[in-house]
Structure 1
């Protein structure tokens, strides 16, 4: 048998293209695997960062999404007069709100609510706009000041009115409202520019101070808001309450005002169309009364505002919302002669022995300045003040110059505002050469100095400034007005004025003669209290020129009437100033007002009685520096 020959098949070599494909596949797999490993590594690092490194931050964000913080409005502090008479306080306010997210139909809900509580077209539009602008789970105010019957009926029908909510808040109630209106002011809704300054301003119906003490001390009166923490679901609906922090009530304020004297002052000037009067305690600087007419009722504009009433107030040509005692700027007229006399004595251009003759006028160049009457004979400083001789003060002002007159006037409290808690003050004008160059770009003329010497021309002041000047002349000290009292503040004497006491005595003697001596311009307004004298100075200021006189009514053409006074003359305690717009002569219109108000102050003696101390201390008003006379 033939043996088969064994055949050995050796390993064959792979073709080159096979080897290349295998190499390419291995490299691709390596790259893909590396990329996958990198991605998984990056994912793992990111998960580590989110879950471990940044876990506290995301836990906080999660809690913020889960929890909602709602502010609780604080109760506003009360305001009292110096004897504890309540002037302003917070009262319970029953309100109706709606949560648009829970309403099946917001217009339908408003229609249903209007059957119980009147919902005007303007209110409906406001609610619809608010619902579109903000979260549907944020309450929108519909009405406030509900009666108890309305409040109870709404709560009974609450299951049938989804989205409706009632609550209790507070509104501001003002007592003795018309006499105290300009001093205390009123509260109102925050403006658009104020809403972003404090989150509490966004609370439905929250009010802030708009004028007067309510505005100046708004932060102290407002207090600190509380908060309630809720747990909410993903749609913002409240699940449960987690905790709360109570709000802190605002601080109470005690004013230096005597409410009774304030009412007497307002009643006394109501017979005039536009007038104001200020009474100061010359020892402490406390403002005892500050009345301005026409006035208004802050309850009409602070809560449940009637638009027709607001339009009537804002469009009234006599501007009842303005406090004339601090914002009315008037030529002081002859009341300024007290300043001119002191400035002339201080400059050494006059003395108590020198006399001047009064021919009924005074000439500067070709300009003739008349005196209100032809005195004749010799007149010294005492008679010049008592009889209010214009010529004497024309010459005095010309001798010393306007710069020295302005310096003394500012030292006596004119031409400035006071940090006493009253916003809206005007500084008036005490002109000098630098003032005219800066404001009018013109040189100063001698005739302007002469007319400034009797309180006319560019000179203007407010009733509060005139009262301060009177207090400074009466005491010889740099008295500053104060409106808010603090039990922590110690009564210390005011700094002495940089004026010679002998000069002050000469001027005081002339002011006593104005009221109490024959020939005095206010002789008919002497006090009727036995053994007590009042010192004062009348003023009548011209307010129109010959060129525009024919364009004005008879009332507008009439002069302003002014009077300043202090009493008792031998131991001053009260100073007062009164301005009656277009009132005629100061002796006929303003002097009787001051006499009656000071008489009431002396008989009642508010400065001599113990004052009320509130539960929470009021912040003392800042005291400004006194400008020295050199």
Structure 2
């Protein structure tokens, strides 16, 4: 048997163990390599799939995103539509506005740039703060308005200095100019800077100096007057600097508006009431519903606040004692007083609780339980509906209202346009108030009492109306049709008679004759305000409404203790074409303060023949067909 040395044995057994160890190491290495290789293959596969998705499947989407980063879109403000009166006189239009802007990104020092500009153009501390805030909030490449309304000398000098003042930019925009500003202020309104909520709705509001309608027709028809913005496409570099202009789309000018207002009559109406502290006048065409004049005093000039307003003057207007910015013709709510007796008479005749033959005795007061309601005049003897309207007898209408009840009186009132907004084209119109049993239960949680019906019959108590509503009421009484007011002519309008009211024409005739007696017969309450035009009569109704109670009277000034004065009228009485209303706050008696105003305005309208003259036709405008302006006849 072969003998092995210790060394040989060690080598022999070691040789046998080595392959087993090697196999184990090789197995471990192969498993790790497989896992690593699989992981690498998965990652590369995922990367390849992602590259395929980005470069092939989603390439169009990312191409658009890259273009958006490369292309900057800048809006171009549209020119605002002009506003004309019914005969083509310009009321509001855009004028050239020379402006100064800065681009903060190109300024070496924005405060330094503003200091340099202040040597040519006044830059107030408020303006400086505004510019600095805007520069911090938005991109430095977006222009910030510094000043506008520059003179041509300032504009030229700044253009010469432009190379020496980095970041400065000059441009030409537009500002709003108002003609016949004070007479037309309440109707046309004014434009101003957009509020925060509006800026978020429409991007065009963010343009430097862009203005939107804040009141009047400018606000009600702002979307049409504003037009559509254009745009300019610029190619920009990675820092947002403009490289070149790629494309442009011009803006579309806003639509022009033609008002039903005659600025000549409007001026006369305002001049006629300016002697009163607070008053309003409305003149309507009873056939078309067009408002020919709507004046309110105190008034304001929109030019003072629409462009570069003086903060002090703005505060005086906004906080004025008599609120000069309020259009009382649509926002003033007054007890109609005796002018409401026209409705009470119609309601009583329609309900059958009175007729033309019935007479009532007026002792000068009327008792309801222990409460006694007085008449403005102790008539004595019998009085019928014609004389009651002519002489404005309170007792007659107390009894009429009591017989029919408040609910029926309220329904007839609403049928004649009272107690609701009329949507004439002005924002903020008040609805007035025509009370009934359900209203009091809902609003005051109380029952209705007979005494409240009685006092409502003469236009007092809870009853409230606006001058515009009284004008519509008068137009409906004059025509027997559901006339509605409008301030803007429309090319879609066609001359079609308004729908007939659900009222007996004979009852309307009784009331009209009573209104004719008010102005033209002896003992009529407005006898001294008859028209001085040969062959033409005016029909009307005076009103005097109490506005304070005896309990509070001692706390008020002599002016505030006075009653409101009202007068409603239509003319010609035999062929109505115009309806007019005047309300004088704390003016005293309607026959003394309001009736002469209506007489003068009505006289001018009849002599000028406003409603029958051809209307203005403008391009790109809301217009009225010429046949509407010359329509004649009554329903």
Structure 2 counterpart of 1:18: 22
Q: Are 1:424 and 2:415 matched, yes or no?
A: no
Residues 435-459 of structure 1: per-residue CA shift (max 9 Å, x gap):
1001000000000000000000000
Q: Are 1:109 and 2:113 matched, yes or no?
A: yes
- CA separation in 2, counterparts of 1:360 and 1:507? 23
SS in 1 for 2:621: coil
Q: Are 1:299 and 2:303 matched, yes or no?
A: yes
Q: Are 1:193 and 2:197 matched, yes or no?
A: yes
Structure 1 counterpart of 2:159: 155
Structure 2 counterpart of 1:485: 489
Counterpart mapping for 1:310-325 below 5 A: 310-325=314-329
Residues 137-165 of structure 1: per-residue CA shift (max 9 Å, x gap):
00000000000000000000000000000
Counterpart mapping for 1:392-411 below 5 A: 392-411=396-415
Structure 2 counterpart of 1:543: 547
Structure 1 counterpart of 2:135: 131
Residues 473-526 of structure 1: per-residue CA shift (max 9 Å, x gap):
011111100111023311100111111000000000100000000100000000
**Residue 222 of structure 1: which of 221, 226, 239 is its match?**
226
Residues 340-384 of structure 1: per-residue CA shift (max 9 Å, x gap):
000000000000000000000000000000000100011000000
Structure 2 counterpart of 1:576: 580
Q: TM-score, normalised by structure 1?
A: 0.96
RMSD after superposition: 1.3
- CA separation in 2, counterparts of 1:214 and 1:202? 19
Counterpart mapping for 1:268-307 below 5 A: 268-307=272-311
| Residues 93 and 144 in structure 1, CA contact (< 8 A), matched pair in contact too | yes
SS in 2 for 1:570: coil
| Residues 539 and 563 in structure 1, CA contact (< 8 A), matched pair in contact too | yes
SS in 1 for 2:47: helix
SS in 1 for 2:94: strand
- CA separation in 2, counterparts of 1:328 and 1:419? 15
SS in 2 for 1:29: helix
- CA separation in 2, counterparts of 1:587 and 1:208? 42
Structure 1 counterpart of 2:385: 381
| Residues 103 and 163 in structure 1, CA contact (< 8 A), matched pair in contact too | yes
Shift of 1:408: 0.4
- CA separation in 1, counterparts of 2:591 and 2:506? 27
Q: Are 1:236 and 2:233 matched, yes or no?
A: no
Shift of 1:15: 4.0
Shift of 1:16: 2.4
Q: TM-score, normalised by structure 2?
A: 0.95
SS in 2 for 1:157: helix
Gaps of 5+ in 2: 1-10, 625-635
Structure 1 counterpart of 2:256: 252
Structure 2 counterpart of 1:594: 598
Counterpart mapping for 1:354-503 below 5 A: 354-503=358-507
- CA separation in 2, counterparts of 1:25 and 1:486? 90
- CA separation in 2, counterparts of 1:465 and 1:614? 30
Structure 2 counterpart of 1:266: 270
SS in 2 for 1:196: helix
SS in 2 for 1:588: helix
Shift of 1:32: 1.1
Residues 85-110 of structure 1: per-residue CA shift (max 9 Å, x gap):
00000000000000001000000000
| Residues 97 and 143 in structure 1, CA contact (< 8 A), matched pair in contact too | yes
Shift of 1:619: 8.3
**Residue 92 of structure 1: which of 90, 96, 102 is its match?**
96
Q: Are 1:341 and 2:334 matched, yes or no?
A: no
| Residues 491 and 623 in structure 2, CA contact (< 8 A), matched pair in contact too | no
The ranges of structure 1 where at least 4 consecutive aligned residues each deviate by more than 6 angstroms after the TM superposition are: none
Q: Are 1:522 and 2:526 matched, yes or no?
A: yes
- CA separation in 2, counterparts of 1:315 and 1:422? 22
Structure 1 counterpart of 2:58: 54
Q: Are 1:37 and 2:41 matched, yes or no?
A: yes
- CA separation in 2, counterparts of 1:19 and 1:422? 97
| Residues 487 and 613 in structure 1, CA contact (< 8 A), matched pair in contact too | no
- CA separation in 1, counterparts of 2:356 and 2:252? 62
Seen in structure 2, the aligned counterparts of structure 1 residues 619 and 225 have a Cα distance that, compared at 3 Å, is farther
Shift of 1:618: 2.0
Structure 2 counterpart of 1:617: 621
SS in 1 for 2:201: coil
Gaps of 5+ in 1: 1-8, 621-630
**Residue 31 of structure 2: which of 27, 32, 41 is its match?**
27
| Residues 562 and 578 in structure 1, CA contact (< 8 A), matched pair in contact too | yes
| Residues 188 and 302 in structure 1, CA contact (< 8 A), matched pair in contact too | yes
| Residues 74 and 223 in structure 1, CA contact (< 8 A), matched pair in contact too | yes
**Residue 211 of structure 1: which of 197, 212, 215 is its match?**
215
| Residues 282 and 293 in structure 2, CA contact (< 8 A), matched pair in contact too | yes
Q: Are 1:140 and 2:162 matched, yes or no?
A: no
| Residues 423 and 429 in structure 2, CA contact (< 8 A), matched pair in contact too | no
Shift of 1:53: 1.4
SS in 2 for 1:210: strand
SS in 2 for 1:466: helix
Structure 2 counterpart of 1:623: none
- CA separation in 1, counterparts of 2:352 and 2:394? 19
- CA separation in 2, counterparts of 1:265 and 1:395? 37
- CA separation in 1, counterparts of 2:335 and 2:597? 19
Shift of 1:17: 2.2
- CA separation in 1, counterparts of 2:168 and 2:72? 20
- CA separation in 1, counterparts of 2:46 and 2:437? 79
Structure 2 counterpart of 1:628: none
SS in 2 for 1:485: coil
| Residues 258 and 623 in structure 2, CA contact (< 8 A), matched pair in contact too | no
Structure 2 counterpart of 1:69: 73
- CA separation in 1, counterparts of 2:58 and 2:506? 80
Shift of 1:413: 0.6
- CA separation in 1, counterparts of 2:39 and 2:185? 79
- CA separation in 2, counterparts of 1:35 and 1:410? 84
